[in-house]
Amino acid sequence: GCEAVLVHLSTDQVYSGIKPYWKESDAAAPVNTYGTSKAEAEEAIKASWPRSVILRSSIIYGPHPPVPVQRGLFLQFMDNALGAGEKTVFFDDEFRSPIYVADLVAIIRACIESQSESPQAEVRVYNAGGPQRMSRVDMAVTLADARGYDRSAILPGPAASVNRGVASPADISMDVSLLQEELGIRVRTFREALGDMGMIAS
């Protein structure tokens, strides 16, 4: 058997989205291909890599990376739109547990250390999200208030108003207490993370 520690970044989309605050013990029931592929990867890892950690991460946000990225980043999209006063629709009926990238890095480090030091190889599964159940409207309002932007640019709307061509779970907010208790890491709220990034207006 391999003694190296494998940390697999899975997704909150392994959950069906029919209730809030999912726990690691809840059965995976993905509603789209992405979630299904991640759930299958989890099972493959459990079967073949005994010293591993599966992190079910939510929306990951943080400062713009130092290298160019092809995909738009949600925090930067919100900041640009609201900073310019552009009327923008944000979903008010989909809920996630957004996590600050610096906290996720700390979680990954802690997982590697704890698994490396553990005398017994085992597979651990953690919900890797922030402490808040948030819609995209909640995130936009928090950002606007922190930055001093006008809330009137935020237009709440249902997720069904946009055809994304794929099913999307409505509520995959997660209970992250197990991760915080076992790893001794406190994940930060969205506003706390904005402060850490220097994004709160003085």
Residue 1 domain-assigned (yes or no):
no
Classify residue 94: in a domain, yes or no: yes
**Tally of domains within the chain:** 1
Give the structural domain span for 89. Answer: 6-196
DSSP string, 15-84: S--BSSSB-TTSPP--SSHHHHHHHHHHHHHHHH-SSEEEEEE--EE-SPPSS--SSPPHHHHHHHHHHT
Strand ranges for 62-170 from DSSP E = 88-91, 99-100, 123-128, 154-157
Whether 202 is covered by a domain: the verdict is: no
Residue with tokens 């552009």: 86
CA–CA separation, 123 and 55 (whole Å): 11
Structure token digits, residue 149? 């932007």
In a domain, 192, yes or no: yes
In a domain, 106, yes or no: yes
Domain with residue 166: its CATH number is 3.40.50.720
Compute CA 87 distance to the chain's CA centroid, rounded to the nearest angstrom: 25
Q: What is the pLDDT of residues 72-99, one digit of tens each?
A: 899 999 999 999 999 999 999 999 999 9
Task: Read off the pLDDT of residues 133-155 as tens digits, 9 standing for 90 and up.
Answer: 999 999 999 999 999 999 999 99
Q: What is the pLDDT along the chain (202 residues), one digit of tens a residue?
A: 457 999 999 999 999 999 999 999 999 999 999 999 999 999 999 999 999 999 999 999 999 888 888 878 999 999 999 999 999 999 999 999 999 999 999 999 999 999 999 888 899 999 999 999 999 999 999 999 999 999 999 999 999 888 888 999 999 999 999 999 999 999 999 999 999 999 999 7
Residue 149: inside a domain: yes
**Does a structural domain hold residue 138?**
yes
**47 in any annotated domain:** yes
